[in-house]
Structure 1
Amino acid sequence: MALTHPKYSVAVVQAAPIWLDLDATIDKTICLIKEASAGGAKLIVFPETWLPGYPFHIWLGTPAWTIAKGFVQRYFDNSLAYDSPEARRLSAAAREARITVVLGLSERDGGSLYIAQWLIGPDGETIAQRRKLRATHAERTVFGEGDGSDLAVHDLPGLGRLGALCCWEHLQPLTKYAMYAQNEQVHCASWPTFSLYEPFAHALSAEVSNAMSKVYAVEGSCFVLASSSVITQDAVDLLCDTDDKRTLLHAGGGHSVIFGPDGSPLGHRLGENEEGLMFAELDLGLIGVAKGAADPAGHYSRPDVTRLFFNKTRARRVEHFSLPSKDATPEDIAAS
């Protein structure tokens, strides 16, 4: 019996969050989820730290300046906790729209923040809550890090094998290989706005970042849905209080893309300042054709020469245990 391959529509977000306003950005998120579903999409992908917007302030001034301007407190307070009414609104929106959501967010857990992606199923239930393995450069002044359990690919009915990474995780060869080795078919790449340090840092440019997404598609022989946000002039004015800061951050920066497993571009791209959704049709049958030429974790690998050691165990900062009492039986000890 011949295999059948899912075919379905996807939507990739290119839009501006309401910077440092969690509730307003959730309202906008729900509108985009409804729009994607109305357009026939079964999957929607959002940018990195879409909620409550990427913390560009950390690249613009000193830590003391970010505290004095109130950015540190506001960013913490407007980050999303999973056990909150705000999170339940998002779960309900996915359920009502019957769509799978990959949402980029700043996750608040206790007193710490993490760059996260929340995968929500069309029933509103959580598929996964992953964290960026290591925050990049200045991001480490704000965010903690994930662990090997966050490099996971999920087999989803009707969608295929789906995984997700954030931003410069796509620059890490071993991180990518860990995903390829799990036979990922649809990859959700969350990126911030591509207008920081332009034109001073080419490595942060849309050209380089979109090249990473394209190479990921070809290397992994998978579809890549790469979502980036737009930054508005209002947000620039909020974040930049001096002329020198305004030379570092500019309005625009939206460069969302979708690539097929051979690296070919899919869907109609939006303008740099344009907000909206990119739609594309995926045919997972194309993956077998691409992998027939080169499967990096399969027939095109040489494990006798190079191989990856991959620790998928979740890291626990506290391990709870108790010592058996003097009256404990062998059964009690075995059960402890």
Structure 2
Amino acid sequence: MSLSINNSSKKDQLNVAVAQIAPVWLNREATLAKVSDAISDAAAQNAQLIGFGETVLPGYPFWIERTDGARFNDPVQKDLHAHYLDQAVVIERGDLDTVCAQARDHGMAIYLGIYERPMDRGGHSGFCSLAYIDENGAIGSVHRKLMPTYEERLTWSPGDGNGLRTHPLGAFRVGGLNCWENWMPLARTALYADGEDFHFACWPGGERNTRISPFLAQEGRSYVMSVSGLMRVSDFPDDTPYLEQILAGNGQADMLTNGGSCLVAPDGSYVIEPIVGIEVVKTATIDHAMVRQERQNFDPVGHYSRPDILKLEVDRRRQTAARFRDE
């Protein structure tokens, strides 16, 4: 996309990468290797930020809608849930250390969708989380999805507001949400109010899910990067538990989710058109001057707001079941 921006400078520009990849499904270590390869690919393209799809590490829980996931106390569901938890990301034991090291080595920020098994919630429940790793390799925030969607509630726990934060990156402040959280007006507003002008939206896959992206860009007058996962029958390892049951009814189709990742400018125009059906790491350069231009006629929490009438209160405390005092 060619931008006509007269008040731009080099410091306004940021090179960003969309990483549309398929996981090695429910295999954390093998998927981490694919994530690492994508980061290296983006580094070769001089990217300063890279984004991945929702719970790409170690994969989205496709089995629920395909194996009667709501059947209570069903041994199949219990086995699959146990396997999923076993392959989840435990940040406290260092599961993201290699990704953090790559971020530091390449000076690249990373948004990574993970299935998180946090120790501050007892270590036996999983959350759909979006980890932000800054260009120095530090984990800046871990946003746990506020409300899992439909059947996701059978395996993902509801999160909290702790990760509703933005982070400085070059001329930008970046923030992100998981999947259908991007439809939640107050969640978006929380990020706008924290200064967001680059919005990252991660999705499990499916081109239709990212059609909201031009609207998000125009509402926030921000750049919006929507990154989806990709999932083909061939991406399921042969040793996947209950694989035959999971794939039953898929017919001859190879594709479960077809991607649709894209990048949209603050005026709602595409910088990267939706990418469908392929794995790819694709980069583009964005310019903060365009944010400033588009905020001239609309700024949702600035000059075009009425905080004397309408305002939002956000609880960003990390929620835990117990707080221990040992002294």
| TM-score, length of structure 1 as denominator length | 0.84
Larger Rg: 1
The residue number in structure 1 matching 2:47 is 41
Matched residues in 2 for 1:136 and 1:169: separation?
A: 9
- With over 3 angstroms needed to count, the CA separation of the structure-2 counterparts of 1:251 and 1:143, relative to structure 1, is closer
Q: 1:24 aligns with which of 24, 30, 34?
A: 30
Identity percentage over the alignment? 31
Q: What is the aligned length?
A: 308
Amino acid at match of 2:20: Q
**1:271-290 equivalence runs, <5 A:** 272-290=276-294
- With over 3 angstroms needed to count, the CA separation of the structure-2 counterparts of 1:263 and 1:80, relative to structure 1, is same
5+ residue gaps, structure 2: 1-6
The residue number in structure 2 matching 1:149 is 162
The residue number in structure 1 matching 2:85 is 76
Q: 1:50 aligns with which of 47, 56, 59?
A: 56
Is 1:133 matched up with 2:146? yes
The residue number in structure 2 matching 1:310 is 314
Please report how far the alpha carbon of residue 244 of structure 1 lies from its aligned counterpart in structure 2 after TM superposition: 5.9
Please report how far the alpha carbon of residue 240 of structure 1 lies from its aligned counterpart in structure 2 after TM superposition: 5.3
- With over 3 angstroms needed to count, the CA separation of the structure-2 counterparts of 1:251 and 1:111, relative to structure 1, is closer
The residue number in structure 2 matching 1:6 is 12
How much is the aligned-residue C-alpha RMSD, in angstroms?
Answer: 2.5
The residue number in structure 2 matching 1:201 is none
Matched residues in 2 for 1:142 and 1:292: separation?
A: 44
Q: Which has the higher strand share?
A: 2
- With over 3 angstroms needed to count, the CA separation of the structure-2 counterparts of 1:159 and 1:186, relative to structure 1, is same
Please report how far the alpha carbon of residue 306 of structure 1 lies from its aligned counterpart in structure 2 after TM superposition: 2.8
**1:186-201 equivalence runs, <5 A:** 186-194=198-206
Please report how far the alpha carbon of residue 170 of structure 1 lies from its aligned counterpart in structure 2 after TM superposition: 0.7
| TM-score, length of structure 2 as denominator length | 0.86
Is 1:161 matched up with 2:179? no
String of CA shifts for 1:137-178, please: whole Å, max 9, x gaps. Answer: 21111112222222111223x252110100000111111111
Amino acid at match of 2:277: N
Is 1:102 matched up with 2:91? no
Please report how far the alpha carbon of residue 15 of structure 1 lies from its aligned counterpart in structure 2 after TM superposition: 1.4
Matched residues in 1 for 2:155 and 2:50: separation?
A: 27
5+ residue gaps, structure 1: 195-205, 323-335
Amino acid at match of 1:130: H
Please report how far the alpha carbon of residue 229 of structure 1 lies from its aligned counterpart in structure 2 after TM superposition: 1.1
String of CA shifts for 1:304-335, please: whole Å, max 9, x gaps. Answer: 4433232223323213347xxxxxxxxxxxxx
Please report how far the alpha carbon of residue 86 of structure 1 lies from its aligned counterpart in structure 2 after TM superposition: 3.1
**Greater displacement, 38-47 / 213-222:** 213-222
Amino acid at match of 1:301: S
Matched residues in 2 for 1:61 and 1:192: separation?
A: 18
- With over 3 angstroms needed to count, the CA separation of the structure-2 counterparts of 1:66 and 1:58, relative to structure 1, is farther
Matched residues in 1 for 2:244 and 2:263: separation?
A: 32
**Greater displacement, 246-255 / 104-113:** 246-255
Please report how far the alpha carbon of residue 121 of structure 1 lies from its aligned counterpart in structure 2 after TM superposition: 1.8
- With over 3 angstroms needed to count, the CA separation of the structure-2 counterparts of 1:268 and 1:219, relative to structure 1, is closer
Matched residues in 1 for 2:35 and 2:148: separation?
A: 24
String of CA shifts for 1:201-227, please: whole Å, max 9, x gaps. Answer: xxxxx23x2232221111111111111
The residue number in structure 1 matching 2:182 is 170
SS across alignment from 1:254: strand
Q: 2:270 aligns with which of 258, 265, 268?
A: 265
The residue number in structure 1 matching 2:3 is none
Please report how far the alpha carbon of residue 19 of structure 1 lies from its aligned counterpart in structure 2 after TM superposition: 0.3
Matched residues in 2 for 1:103 and 1:181: separation?
A: 23
Matched residues in 2 for 1:300 and 1:95: separation?
A: 38
Amino acid at match of 2:218: V
Please report how far the alpha carbon of residue 123 of structure 1 lies from its aligned counterpart in structure 2 after TM superposition: 2.2
Amino acid at match of 1:147: D
Amino acid at match of 2:154: T
Please report how far the alpha carbon of residue 80 of structure 1 lies from its aligned counterpart in structure 2 after TM superposition: 0.7
Are the aligned partners of 1:58 and 1:66 in contact in 2 as well (CA < 8 Å)? no
Are the aligned partners of 2:234 and 2:254 in contact in 1 as well (CA < 8 Å)? no
**Greater displacement, 303-312 / 171-180:** 303-312
Please report how far the alpha carbon of residue 66 of structure 1 lies from its aligned counterpart in structure 2 after TM superposition: 7.3
String of CA shifts for 1:21-66, please: whole Å, max 9, x gaps. Answer: 1110000110000000110110000000010111111122223597
